A and B are shown apart, each in its own frame.
Chain A
Amino acid sequence: MIQRQAERGKWDIITGNHAVAHAARLARVKVVPAYPITPQTTIVEYIADFIERGEMDAEYIRVESEHSAMAAAIGAAAVGARTFTATASQGLLLMHEVLHWAVGSRLPIGMAVVNRAVGPPWSIHVDHQDAISQRDTGWMIQFVSSNQEALDTVLMMYKVAERPDVLLPFMVCLDGFVLSHTFQPVHIPDQADVDAFLPEYRPPHWVMDPDRPITYGNLVMPEREYMEMRWSIHEAMLRAKEAIREVAGEFKRAFGRYHGDLLWEYETEDADILVVATGTLASEAEEAVDLLRSGGKGVGLVKVRSYRPFPGEEIVRLAEGRKAIVVLDRSLSFGQAGPLATDIRAALFTAGVSTPVVGFVTGLGGRDITYEDIAEIVKIAEERVKEGRLRPVEWYKLRR
């Protein structure tokens, strides 16, 4: 079965953006409202092309802003359509208000975020500040490290998002240019196989329908269920952890590919030091692990695929008994620390695990971080732990 499905479909050498566009087509999304922004643009160009060539049966709304793109996605989902959009950087920031609205309405909208630095000054290069700034909206935030993983994760996440016990929107984050504009071999699954994996969306909750008139979202007074609604989103987010695991398993059975679930581990079993990273920093870290291991260092990698829901307990289990956790953040909570490092410290402290965490902020605005840099980072981290000099933020490749 696995063999047959992998043989069906086709192989192509395509960019991350092209892979994402294929995923939207294969998911049979019915409405795509989109507004162009570098480096997302080719996603929405490919989708326009698919639709106009008749390869994709969807309404394409060429909206006048990202705020409108997300609002239109919400409107489409509110009448029961599977919807998709894509954005980056300033576009994602402009959507912020309505990102909350999508979650509160429990609409399983799908979105690709091509991570890019936020201005000013203008920078079009990779940085995770755009997605991390949406941390508390209630969107499921997933980071990928390859073009194949981008395509597969969009398909998997629709299945997670549309589950009646989840009903939350998701963003699949891929690094600007590093993935979005870089060619890699990608297996594009056969439509029939995707249809079997991801059936048509049928909203299990309210939809806007004159035959069943309801009012969605009117005033809720303090003693009514506002607080319970927020709790409910949190519970669904926690359940999504299990859903992500299950769907990763189903995907593996259907297509023979497995990118990890909430996390992906590499050489962790006997490692003294774990590097924790997201996106393509994790791909570099994988190379760094090989390099360090060839020099006799016991280093492993934990790639965080799901930033929200956050796999805190899972990371704690992996961290227990190690000499150090080295966290790479491509974003920063100014005046505090790297967001991923902060989350990991909180999870460890809550669990009473005292493994030292050395958090690095690096690679901002697309500054190149290679596997050799990460090997260097690990060495710095070892020194800090040895000296007992742990600080909230370690800057790496900061020139001053």
Chain B
Amino acid sequence: MPSDIVIPVSNPAEAAAGQTGLWRVFKPVIDKGKCVRCWVCALYCMEDVIDEGPDGYPVVDYEFCKGCGICANECPTKAIDMVPEVRE
């Protein structure tokens, strides 16, 4: 195809809208002492950024977590705290 055919085709990529972790005002912090690994947090995570860590507990990808706090609100054991984000 000639190089001057310009067609608006986009390819799948993380960070399509940028590093969305920067949007965060509150940050979810998981208390492993209270976590029963039920995975409700991951089920409801809108950004799909809660995965299983090497120790078998949920870990949050803070690069993209938008800090909505649905995970903390839904956690049945209240193992997630939303703490104010502090940035340099």
Please report A residues at the B interface, Cβ cutoff 8 Å: 104-106, 164-165, 167, 204-206, 213-218, 220, 225-226, 228-229, 231-232, 235-236, 239
> In whole Å, how far is B14's beta carbon from the nearest beta carbon of chain A?
14
Cβ B12 vs Cβ A216 within 8 A: no
Scan B8-30; emit 1 where CB is below 8 A from any A CB, else 0. 11111000000000000000000
The 9 A-B residue pairs with the shortest CB-CB distance in the complex, in nearest-first order: A232-B6, A215-B10, A228-B6, A164-B1, A229-B6, A165-B2, A206-B9, A214-B9, A235-B4
Alpha-carbon gap, A214 to B9, bound state (A): 7
Alpha-carbon gap, A218 to B17, bound state (A): 12
Please report B residues at the A interface, Cβ cutoff 8 Å: 1-2, 4-12
What DSSP secondary structure best describes chain A's contact surface? loop
Cβ A205 vs Cβ B11 within 8 A: no
Alpha-carbon gap, A361 to B11, bound state (A): 50
Contacts of B4 in A (CB 8 A): 231-232, 235
Max chain A Cβ within 10 angstroms of own Cβ: one of B1, B4, B6, B9: B6
A215-B10, A235-B4 given; 9 more Cβ-contact pairs under 8 Å: A164-B1, A164-B2, A165-B5, A167-B5, A205-B1, A206-B7, A214-B9, A228-B6, A232-B7
Contacts of A214 in B (CB 8 A): 9-12
> In whole Å, how far is B48's beta carbon from the nearest beta carbon of chain A?
16
> In whole Å, how far is B11's beta carbon from the nearest beta carbon of chain A?
6
Cβ B9 vs Cβ A215 within 8 A: yes
Contacts of A204 in B (CB 8 A): 1
Max chain A Cβ within 10 angstroms of own Cβ: one of B6, B8, B10, B12: B8
> In whole Å, how far is A344's beta carbon from the nearest beta carbon of chain B?
28
Contacts of A106 in B (CB 8 A): 5, 7
Cβ B10 vs Cβ A205 within 8 A: no
- Closest residue of A by beta carbon distance from B6: A232
- Closest residue of A by beta carbon distance from B1: A164
Could you jot down 12 A-B contacts, CB within 8 Å? Answer: A106-B5, A164-B5, A165-B2, A204-B1, A205-B1, A213-B12, A215-B10, A218-B10, A220-B8, A225-B8, A229-B6, A229-B8
> In whole Å, how far is B79's beta carbon from the nearest beta carbon of chain A?
35
Cβ A216 vs Cβ B9 within 8 A: yes
Cβ B11 vs Cβ A216 within 8 A: no
Alpha-carbon gap, A216 to B11, bound state (A): 9
> In whole Å, how far is B7's beta carbon from the nearest beta carbon of chain A?
6
| Contacting residue for A217 out of B1, B6, B8, B11, CB 8 A | B8
Contacts of A206 in B (CB 8 A): 7, 9
Alpha-carbon gap, A105 to B4, bound state (A): 15
> In whole Å, how far is B39's beta carbon from the nearest beta carbon of chain A?
26
Cβ A236 vs Cβ B7 within 8 A: no
Alpha-carbon gap, A107 to B9, bound state (A): 13
Alpha-carbon gap, A216 to B12, bound state (A): 11
> In whole Å, how far is A386's beta carbon from the nearest beta carbon of chain B?
47
Contacts of A236 in B (CB 8 A): 5
Alpha-carbon gap, A167 to B4, bound state (A): 12
